[in-house]
Chains A and B, each alone.
Chain A
Amino acid sequence: MMRLGLWIVLLCLSWKPLKALDQHNIEKFNKCFTLLTQNTLQSQDPLVKEVQSGTLPYDQACLTLLNKASLNSQGVLINDDFRSQEVLRTLQSVHQTWFKSTMTYMPDDAPLLFDLIEFDEAALFVTKALFQKDWQYKDILLKPISLQGRRDPQLKSDYLIGPRPEPKILKRQEYAVAIAEDWQDKWSPPHLMRGPLRGIIEQPRDEVILPGFSHQLFFPTYYKEPLDIHHTLGGGFMGTNSYFLLNNGRAHGELSDGQNIMYRVFSQQLVQDILCRDLPVLTLEDAKPFVRNIKSVSWANNASCMACHATMDPMAALLRNAQMIVNDAPDDQGSTHRRLFKATKTPPESYQLYDAQEDYHLTPAHGRFVYRDIENRFYNKEVKSFQELGQIMAETADFYACATKRYFFYLTGQDVDMQLIQKNSPSPQGQFLYQLSTQLKEHQQLQKVLMSIIRSKWF
């Protein structure tokens, strides 16, 4: 009787999958179509007929769809049609969610800002790496450029992009720039294009120059110094202005002092955004060599504190020359930017992290990547630029596991813990993602990761 009951239950459970087997191809294609376009598949779609007739396997149909958003070597959509724009927009919105952008709501954020600087520039790097054949995944940490979206140059909006729906502020051709207490200059920066994304192109250098600025809003000191608002520090998205402005965690006008004031939030955010890890990533044993007895830096005395600070602080030291400044112009015309000081002072040769140093922000950028990845590999390497930081981050297992984990969530709805992405993981999904991320490190093609997930049994 028990056995009969068991058979009935098994029959019930297997009814749906068996039925699904007949419909396998078209249902899978329907799923990937919906996920890649955010639209509904209709029976008259030419790909549907091919899939239904069995001449085209569903994964090939998905690949055809994905390839519609391919970009040429300049970063422009090769086939600029409605469907290509849908796929490009969808994947860009997927990549947007990878980057938290914690400083979106600065108390004094200026409405002009996001008509000048791409809010989702970091995501544009990943989208470009996915769709542009001559880009590799690690280029998002290496290319020394700034990016902008190519949209519709004919589409004119009369209002600025604001942080909230209301109030809307009229766009202007010319902006006031306060460069002295009682004197203003004019500035006519080009605005970013509006409309659906149709390409991802390089932001020209030295073209958008702010003529002057002040270091903060209250009791400002004015500087009549030209400032290239798209200057990048290299290292892919990490060195861009937009990533700094949205993630630096400090107030306008603050200067790094190498002790209390450092861009720690930036480091913490970077580790979360692109390595999918929360601090601490170090063990207490890893942190012990970084413990120092310095009275003015209380956390330096404690290994538990240093388990986070040993990763955060030397990475933040790379940004020591940066300062968040403001163009405090009247009538909501102001904007926030990044100033970079030239390194004019040399620290003593014996200088170590947290040593007191006058004009720390004027010393050459110099940091360290201190990190333990999910494969238990420990990194403790000196870096002098974001380019060098990008190179070493691109060696970690986490960089690849992070992308595969995120695509797996996007395509299957299953969120796999980073710690489970191991060769001998107790989770089959973890083993699968380990395999994908190891392959990604070799071939550097994000599209292959997407397709492997689409072909997998979890899709």
Chain B
Amino acid sequence: MKYKSLFLILWFSIGDLAFAQILINRYVLHHKFELLYGPSALSTVRSEILSRPHIFGGPCSLMEEVLIEKNARPQSLSSLYACVEGFSETRAPLHPSDKLTREVVIQNVCRIMSQNTTSLHYFLSGSHYFTQRLDQIRFLAQKFYPFRVLDEAQLKVLDDEATSLNLISLFDLPWDSRLNLLRNLSFLLCTSKEWQTL
């Protein structure tokens, strides 16, 4: 078990040794979470990630703010890229640098995504066609890593980690059913770091 965890950590972090890595910014995270967990994920992403430009990076576009007056109050028709914090957000960092805070927030978002039934089912959509557990895991892992070839050993490690990693209980996720296994897998994949790096 100890060695498998080590293997998993190596798999997700060895890139650090070979290349300088860029973390994806808040706009890319927004698109990625929408793709993975569907439209129901977006309010969480907006409040937890998009509203923190100086942690997640990505300068905004000042002139994409569009507000119309409705009942004497501004109503937003702004794009995703419009500034919400004013001028200072136009100079948000290109690449996120506060890795620790970022990691904590992402873990929180992943926990919410994996606990929420609607977003979890969106993530699991299509996986029920697979009868073999490893095929199902491959299919779901591929959603996070669409352009990576995942070999069987890696999938087995993921399977073992999802079923036995006690880490999940820290976040109050029950794990006594098949759905909860997939819930754990969702959380595990979501908190892995390599899909967030370029």
Are A196 and B198 also in contact (CB < 8 A) when A30-B147, A120-B90 are?
A: no
Q: Given the interface contacts A97-B94, A120-B90, does A40 sit within 8 Å of B28 by beta carbon?
A: yes
Q: How far is the CA of A16 from the CA of B13 in the complex (A)?
A: 10
Please, which residue of chain B has its CB at the minimum distance from the CB of A195?
B64
Q: Cα distance A413–B149 when bound, in Å? A: 25
In the assembled complex, the CB of A127 is this many whole angstroms from the nearest CB of chain B, namely 12
| Contact A104/B87 with A38-B58, A89-B61, A97-B59 known, Cβ cut-off 8 Å | yes
Mark contacts of A75-99 with chain B using CB atoms, 8 A cut-off: 1 yes-contact digit, 0 otherwise.
0000000000000010011101100
B148 within 8 A of A: yes
Tell me if A161 and B35 are in contact (CB < 8 A): no
**Hey, what's the 0/1 contact readout for B58-80 against A, CB within 8 Å counting as 1?**
11111111111100001001010
In this assembly, does B10 line the interface, its C-beta being within 8 Å of a C-beta of chain A?
Answer: yes
Per-residue 0/1 for A28-58: is the Cβ within 8 Å of any B Cβ (1 yes, 0 no)? Answer: 0011001100111111000010000000000
Contacting residues, chain A, for B93 (C-beta < 8 A): 97
User: B160 interface residue, CB < 8 Å from A?
Assistant: no
Q: Measured between alpha carbons, how far is A151 from B82 in the docked complex, in Å?
A: 13
| Contact pick for A165, options B69, B85, B91, B94, CB 8 Å | B85
Whether A432 sits at the interface, judged by CB under 8 Å, is no
B155 at the interface (CB under 8 A from A): no
Contact size range, B: 35 or more
Indicate the member of B20, B21, B27, B61 with the most A CB atoms within 10 Å. Answer: B61
Stretch of A19-27, A324-332, A343-351, A440-448 that contacts chain B:
A19-27
18 sampled A-B residue pairs with Cβ under 8 A = A34-B24, A38-B28, A38-B58, A48-B147, A93-B59, A93-B90, A96-B91, A105-B87, A119-B90, A157-B65, A158-B68, A165-B86, A193-B63, A194-B64, A194-B66, A195-B79, A412-B20, A413-B95
Q: How far is the CA of A409 from the CA of B25 in the complex (A)?
A: 14
Distance, CA A13 to CA B15, complexed state (A)? 9
Contacts A26-B147, A97-B94, A193-B63 known; A164 to B74 CB distance under 8 Å?
no
Chain A residues with CB under 8 Å of B21's CB are 413
Mark B residues whose CB is within 8 Å of A. Answer: 10-11, 14-15, 17-18, 20-22, 24-25, 27-28, 31-32, 35, 58-69, 74, 77, 79, 81, 84-88, 90-91, 93-95, 146-149, 198
Known A89-B61, A196-B79, A412-B22; contact A34-B68, beta-carbon cutoff 8 A:
no
**How far, in whole Å, are A27 and B22 apart by their CA atoms in the complex?**
13
Closest CB in chain B relative to A321 CB, distance in Å: 28
Interface assignment of A188: CB less than 8 Å from any CB of chain B: no
Which residues of chain B come closer than 8 Å to A35, judged between CB atoms?
Answer: 22, 198
Q: Are B68 and A194 in contact (CB under 8 A)?
A: no
B-chain residues with CB within 8 Å of residue A22 when the two chains form the complex? 149
Question: Does A223 reach chain B (CB closer than 8 Å)?
Answer: no
- 15 further A-B contacts with Cβ under 8 Å, apart from A156-B68, A168-B74, are A27-B147, A38-B31, A39-B28, A89-B81, A94-B59, A97-B59, A120-B90, A157-B68, A159-B67, A161-B65, A163-B86, A163-B87, A164-B85, A194-B65, A196-B64
The distance in angstroms between the C-alpha atoms of A92 and B64, with both chains bound, is: 13
A58 to B: closest C-beta gap in Å: 11
Contact residue among B66, B69, B77, B94 (Cβ-Cβ distance under 8 Å from A170):
B69
- What's the minimum C-beta distance from A165 to chain B, rounded to whole angstroms? 6
Residues of A with C-beta under 8 A to B91: 96-97, 100-101
User: In this complex, what residue of A is CB-closest to B68?
Assistant: A158
Contact of B66 among A26, A43, A101, A157 (CB under 8 A): A157
